[in-house]
């Protein structure tokens, strides 16, 4: 079913400046943290590609994963919990969580996509924030796919092929192929020759590699999905798999060829190709409007579920595509130490926080995640990486020029695609 939302309705939803029930509590100069709304990626998982697809990319024997295709691994869950244990310490110090013991029911709300990897990640987040307290993530058990995280696939709206092709033109694709030729060549050498069937399918000679296949922009499923086929798409996915392998095991990924240094050379293939598609304005707005509005409503106390409005910590657990979409809509960029620009490692999260200072409600943005060393370490040791993000449509975080909540609400109004948002 296609849902619609008028501009007037959007304005009504985001009309007020102050959060509901959030009247100013102080007039002093010290900023007080009121609420945190997080969009997290799931943790380390097995590849989502079928064994047949992987075997077509390389004739080598791929690793055996301890879980089914696309599922969060037990180690992935432990890494998530370890990260959120550290975040819990920050939240206790900030006063959003009690100094000891379990938080009151409703203090934390976790809304997860229904896939195993997101559902179990949500459970792991709660185990880190409130261990042994029995909290469970909120999951939409009715709709598949969950329209909050997959509105296009759920039928809310569709992409306009002409607009998408204008935003991702052939010239830009060719430019990406040229600029990434070095790491793509390295990936092709690691994978080795593709299967004979793969080469025949693409009308290439025996011994071809994935780097020999020209890139093509593809829209499918009634213009509800978009991706890059060919060398860019395959190389991007292969680089991501190398990162997942590196996080799962304590030996080099890629049949022993991908250590930390090699991974840092390869990851720009993934982040650059990923951004080219998922940050394209029409793609980001089509996929992200529903989620961005929910995040805004959660932050301002206008969420449909009163439990989310009451919570001081709200975590949405989705996918790297969701984070890229929201990052694109809000114009936010980051680079966690050791990673490529805008890279979204397993379990990393985009964090929006609401503050009160001098009777003004302010928004701050941050990216958090785990280092490559932590992901790879059998003991999962290492401090959480935290990077404050400059919000381009606000002043810098200095001299009292933080982004106001009004600035945020105006940005949300500007970038939402109303026809891709369900009625409220």
Kindly report, residue by residue over 224-241, the tens digit of the pLDDT: 999 999 999 999 999 999
- Higher per-residue confidence, 26 vs 416: 416
**pLDDT given at position 401:** 52
Q: Does any domain span residue 15? A: no
CA dihedral sign, ordered 149, 37, 79, 74: negative
Nearest alpha-carbon partner for 416 in 134, 33, 8: 8
What is the chain's length? 424
| Average pLDDT for the chain | 92
Q: Work out the pLDDT band at 327, boundaries 50, 70, 90.
A: very high
**pLDDT given at position 397:** 56
Q: Work out the pLDDT band at 11, boundaries 50, 70, 90.
A: very low
Over residues 369-387, the mean pLDDT reads 98
**pLDDT given at position 363:** 94
Query: CA of 73: how far to CAs of 40, 65, 237, 257, 360, in Å?
Result: 17, 8, 18, 23, 43
Q: Spell out where 224-348 has E strands.
A: 225-229, 313-318
Q: Looking at the predicted structure, is the pLDDT value of residue 119 above 50? A: yes
Number of domains in the chain: 1
Instruction: Give the pair of three-digit tokens for residue 70.
Output: 């696309």
Q: Looking at the predicted structure, is the pLDDT value of residue 160 above 90? A: yes
Question: Rounded to the nearest 10 degrees, what angle do helices 405-415 and 281-300 cross at?
Answer: 140
Instruction: Give the pair of three-digit tokens for residue 418.
Output: 């109303």
Q: Looking at the predicted structure, is the pLDDT value of residue 423 above 90? A: no
Alpha carbon 172 to chain centroid, angstroms: 24
Q: Which helix (H) or strand (E) holds 411?
A: helix 405-415
Q: Does any domain span residue 57? A: yes
Would you give the DSSP letter of residue 370?
A: -
Percent of the chain at pLDDT exceeding 70? 91
Q: 3-7, 62-66, 152-156, 290-294 — which is least confidently predicted?
A: 3-7
Q: Does any domain span residue 40? A: yes
Q: CATH code at 197? A: 3.40.50.1240
Boundaries of domain holding 313: 32-420
Query: CA of 35: how far to CAs of 91, 308, 392, in Å?
Result: 10, 11, 22
Percent of the chain at pLDDT exceeding 90? 85
Q: Looking at the predicted structure, is the pLDDT value of residue 243 above 60? A: yes
Helix (H, G, I), strand (E, B) or coil at 248: helix
pTM of the model: 0.93
Kindly report, residue by residue over 258-279, the tens digit of the pLDDT: 999 999 999 999 999 999 999 9
Q: Do residues 370 and 345 touch, judged by C-beta distance below 8 A?
A: yes
| Cα(124)–Cα(207) distance, integer angstroms | 44
**pLDDT given at position 143:** 81
Q: Work out the pLDDT band at 394, boundaries 50, 70, 90.
A: confident
Q: Does any domain span residue 186? A: yes
- Higher per-residue confidence, 390 vs 319: 319
**pLDDT given at position 30:** 85
Partners of 316 in the beta sheet?
39, 111
Q: Looking at the predicted structure, is the pLDDT value of residue 23 above 90? A: no
Biggest CA pair distance of the chain: 73
Q: Does any domain span residue 115? A: yes
Q: Looking at the predicted structure, is the pLDDT value of residue 14 above 50? A: no
Over residues 389-393, the mean pLDDT reads 91
**pLDDT given at position 96:** 98
Q: Do residues 300 and 412 touch, judged by C-beta distance below 8 A?
A: no
Q: Looking at the predicted structure, is the pLDDT value of residue 25 above 90? A: no
Q: Does any domain span residue 315? A: yes
Partners of 33 in the beta sheet?
355
| Cα(377)–Cα(247) distance, integer angstroms | 8
Q: Which helix (H) or strand (E) holds 218?
A: strand 216-220
| Cα(186)–Cα(182) distance, integer angstroms | 6
Instruction: Give the pair of three-digit tokens for residue 22.
Output: 């959030």
Q: Does any domain span residue 23? A: no
Q: Does any domain span residue 152? A: yes
Of these ranges, 10-19, 151-160, 269-278, 355-364, the one predicted with the greatest mean pLDDT is: 269-278
Helix (H, G, I), strand (E, B) or coil at 339: coil
């Amino acid at each position: 079913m296609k849902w619609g939302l008028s501009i007037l309705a959007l304005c009504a939803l985001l009309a007020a400046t102050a959060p509901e029930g959030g009247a100013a509590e102080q007039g002093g100069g010290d900023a007080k943290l009121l609420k945190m709304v997080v969009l997290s990626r799931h943790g380390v998982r097995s590849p989502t590609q079928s064994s047949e697809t992987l075997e077509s990319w390389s004739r080598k024997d791929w690793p055996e994963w301890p879980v089914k295709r696309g599922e969060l691994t037990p180690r992935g869950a432990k890494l998530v919990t370890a990260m959120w244990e550290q975040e819990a310490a920050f939240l206790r110090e900030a006063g959003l969580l009690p100094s000891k013991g379990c938080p009151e029911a409703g203090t934390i709300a976790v809304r997860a996509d229904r896939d195993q990897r997101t559902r179990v990640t949500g459970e792991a987040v709660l185990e880190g924030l409130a261990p042994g307290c029995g909290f469970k993530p909120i999951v939409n058990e009715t709709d598949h796919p969950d329209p909050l995280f997959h509105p296009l696939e759920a039928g809310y709206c569709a992409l306009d092929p002409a607009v998408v092709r204008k935003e991702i033109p052939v010239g830009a694709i060719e430019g990406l192929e040229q600029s990434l030729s070095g790491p793509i060549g390295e990936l092709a050498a690691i994978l080795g020759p593709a299967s004979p069937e793969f080469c025949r399918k693409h009308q290439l000679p025996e011994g071809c590699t994935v780097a020999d296949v020209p890139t093509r922009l593809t829209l499918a499923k009634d213009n509800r999905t978009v991706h890059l086929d060919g060398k860019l798409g395959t190389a991007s996915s292969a680089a991501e798999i190398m990162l997942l392998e590196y996080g799962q095991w304590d030996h080099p990924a890629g049949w022993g060829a991908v250590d930390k240094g090699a991974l840092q050379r390869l990851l720009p293939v993934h982040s650059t190709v990923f951004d080219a598609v998922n940050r394209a304005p029409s793609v980001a707005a089509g996929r992200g409007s529903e989620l961005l509005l929910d995040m805004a409503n959660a932050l301002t106390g206008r969420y449909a579920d009163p439990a989310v409005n009451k919570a001081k910590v709200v975590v949405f657990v989705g996918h790297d595509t969701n984070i890229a979409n929201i990052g694109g809509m809000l114009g936010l960029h980051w680079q966690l130490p050791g990673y490529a620009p805008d890279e979204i490692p397993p379990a990393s999260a985009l964090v929006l926080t609401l503050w009160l200072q001098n009777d003004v409600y302010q928004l701050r943005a941050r990216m958090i995640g785990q280092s490559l060393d932590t992901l790879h370490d059998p003991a999962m040791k290492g401090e959480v990486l935290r990077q404050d993000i400059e919000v381009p449509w606000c002043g810098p975080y200095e001299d009292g020029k933080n982004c106001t909540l009004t600035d945020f609400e105006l940005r949300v109004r500007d970038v939402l695609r109303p026809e891709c948002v369900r009625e409220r």
